[in-house]
Amino acid sequence: MPRTGNKGLLVVGLLLTGLCSTQLRASDYNWQRDKGQSIHFLVNNNSLGQALASRKAEFEKLTGIKVTVNMYQEQQMRQRLLTVLNAKSSEIDVFMTPTSREGEQFADAGWLSDLSNRVKTDASR
């Protein structure tokens, strides 16, 4: 199954973070534009991570994108994430991290991007 590019990450971010309101879902946005793609989501096993992962079936039904969730305890997740990012591996498409903790380090390494403009553009399509 093909993996999504950056545009698929926007859809994931919108739905998994709960920003996908009824109004946005009812808009003319083509939620199925990446149907058949797949993404890998690395998530922390805490209440927020569990809440995000619990929306997997809803996201897959809405978008047609297959989501593989890899959930670890916090320290294991951080170690796994750093290993994958340092190796420049493509095995993780989406990950959760508090920018207050690793934001500067990840931004300096080129691992974070501001998607604000992409979200606005994609949400208006």
* Closest by CA position to 3, among listed 87, 72, 85, 93: 93
* Closest by CA position to 125, among listed 45, 27, 26, 15: 27
How do residues 30-70 score in pLDDT, each as one tens digit?
A: 889 899 999 999 999 999 999 999 999 999 999 999 999 99
Q: How far apart are the first and last CA of the chain?
A: 25
Per-residue confidence band for 2, with pLDDT thresholds at 50, 70 and 90: low
pTM: predicted TM-score of the whole model, two decimal places? 0.72
Q: CA torsion 75→76→78→84, rounded to 10°?
A: 160
Non-local (6+) Cβ contacts of 77 within 8 A are: 42, 43, 44, 45, 71
Instruction: Name the residue ranges covered by the structural domains of the chain.
Output: 6-123
Q: CATH number for 6-123: choose from 3.40.50.970, 3.30.499.10, 3.40.190.10, 3.40.50.720.
A: 3.40.190.10
The token pair that represents 35 in the structure block:
């149907």
Mean pLDDT over 9-32 rounds to 58
What pLDDT sits at residue 7?
A: 44
